[in-house]
Copies of this chain bind each other. A is one copy, B any other.
Amino acid sequence: MSGGDLQLPRTLVAEAVAKALAEDLGLAGDITTEATVPHGARAAGVIGARKAGIVAGLELVEAAFTALDASATIEVSVPDGGHVAAGAPIAHVAGAARGLLTAERVAMNFLGHMSGIATLTRRYVDKVAGTRARIIDTRKTTPGLRAFEKLAVRAGGGLNHRFGLYDAILIKDNHIVAAGGVKPALERTRAHAGHMVKIEVEVTTLAELEEALALGPDAVLLDNMPLDMLTAAVAKVAGRALTEASGAVNLETVRDIAHTGVDLISVGALTHSAPLLDVGFDFEPTG
């Protein structure tokens, strides 16, 4: 985590950690630690995984500890994207005892949340191993944490769909209705969009797919199609656009979906329903 090599824009990290610490500290601060831990005491601890998983979020962990104690140090055993076994250490941290205790929950909340996402993503990625399909995320993210959750998806081996409403065009049903059909919708988006913006259209039938393909979208979102319709759709596209499957994707269905030949499978659950990876921070005996 040396200077100038950020995975994430630095301001995002600093702001998110500051906000989380402010949320936990309020005006009175950590009244338990101030009462019980002597001024000036030093401590060291280990961040460990209680279950196996994929690590993500260490940049935020470091930011949390150093926000309270600029001299705190962190030595990483399993970096972002790495697999940690149950009971194994992820990193060792040392610094002021008070600062470590006060920052602990914020650091673990970020790490557990992001590692949970990376871990679930990896499970999906592993399920489709050997197929052409790649696992991608959606905009169904936790408000305020999108950049971090999308980083976690990448740590788990997934790819990111668009980051927001601003960086790609995705025409959905409601847009098509409002525009008066696929053709006017696509024509209007082409006139409006910058030349560096890709365009994707959602279709739910093969007829809609055909209509869309005539206008050369970069990608087509095949929403909630049965497996045989997906297979037919991929054949119809024939490489003229990226194909993305969505809807009713879970760990049981994802491999069959991949076998239809789609390029991409989007999974909202990666970011909206991944359970926490259980991580903890334990002081090590000194002396």
* A interface residues (Cβ-Cβ under 8 A, vs B): 2-12, 16, 18-41, 43, 67-72, 95-102, 105-106, 108-110, 112-113, 116, 134, 136, 139-147, 150, 159-172, 174-179, 185, 188-189, 191-198, 200, 218-219, 242, 263-264, 268-269, 272-273, 275-276, 283
Instruction: Give the shortest distance, in Å, between A228 (CB) and chain B (any CB).
Output: 24
Instruction: Give the shortest distance, in Å, between A279 (CB) and chain B (any CB).
Output: 11
Q: Beyond A26-B166, A31-B166, A195-B242, list 12 extra A-B contacts (CB 8 Å).
A: A2-B40, A3-B72, A7-B34, A26-B167, A31-B197, A36-B188, A37-B179, A41-B178, A142-B145, A198-B198, A273-B275, A275-B275
Instruction: Give the shortest distance, in Å, between A50 (CB) and chain B (any CB).
Output: 11
The 6 residue pairs across chains A and B that have the minimum distance between CB atoms: A4-B96, A4-B99, A4-B69, A26-B166, A35-B192, A20-B143
Contact of A31 among B26, B169, B174, B275 (CB under 8 A): B169
Residues of B within 8 A of A100 (CB): 4
B143 touches A272 (CB 8 A): no
Closest to A272 in B: B276
CA gap between A196 and B36 in the complex, in Å: 18
Query: How many copies of this chain does the complex contain?
Result: 6
A113 touches B143 (CB 8 A): yes
CA gap between A7 and B102 in the complex, in Å: 12
A167 touches B166 (CB 8 A): yes
B195 touches A263 (CB 8 A): yes
Residues of B within 8 A of A189 (CB): 31-32, 35-36
